[in-house]
Amino acid sequence: MQISVWVPYDEARLRRTLTFVLRPQTQRVRLIGVALVLLGLLLVALDPSVVLSYGVVFLGLFFAVAIGPITVSRAVGMQSNVIREGLHLTMDDEWITVTYPLAETRFRWAGLGKVIETRTPGT
């Protein structure tokens, strides 16, 4: 039996996937950012004339708020033009073939550790 589908390139889905995959790292960075904000505010409370304490607060805010979206945006921007055209996925009894307009990849079913079927939103 052979199954063949066309999968269009979906940047929004790619962004959601990257956000999910990067979540453990971004949570750590956010915690560091919150700690830096608290440390900076403590330094500002002790001596408001020290400019470095304002820099620590700014750096903490940057870590807490901006690092995650910047990382996802950069990862999306680094995607090759080859995959921005969408792909053709073909599955048969022996192979899974992923075909882009300029490239093709084949995997044997035996090489996959686990296949998980998920529902698409809206179905």
Instruction: List Cβ<8 Å contacts ≥24 apart for 23-28.
Output: 26/67, 26/68, 26/71
The domain tally of the chain equals 1
In a domain, 22, yes or no: yes
pTM over 0.85: no
Expressed as residue numbers, the domain containing 26 is: 3-102
In a domain, 24, yes or no: yes
User: Do the bridges between strand 3-7 and strand 104-108 make them parallel or antiparallel, or are there none, so unpaired?
Assistant: unpaired
Tokens of 77: 């921007």
In a domain, 112, yes or no: no
What is the pLDDT of the chain when averaged over all its residues?
Answer: 89
In a domain, 60, yes or no: yes
In a domain, 109, yes or no: no
CA-closest candidate to residue 26, choices 55, 54, 66: 66
- List, for residues 64-77, the tens digit of each pLDDT value: 999 999 999 999 99
- List, for residues 55-107, the tens digit of each pLDDT value: 999 999 999 999 999 999 999 999 888 778 888 999 998 899 999 888 898 98
In a domain, 116, yes or no: no
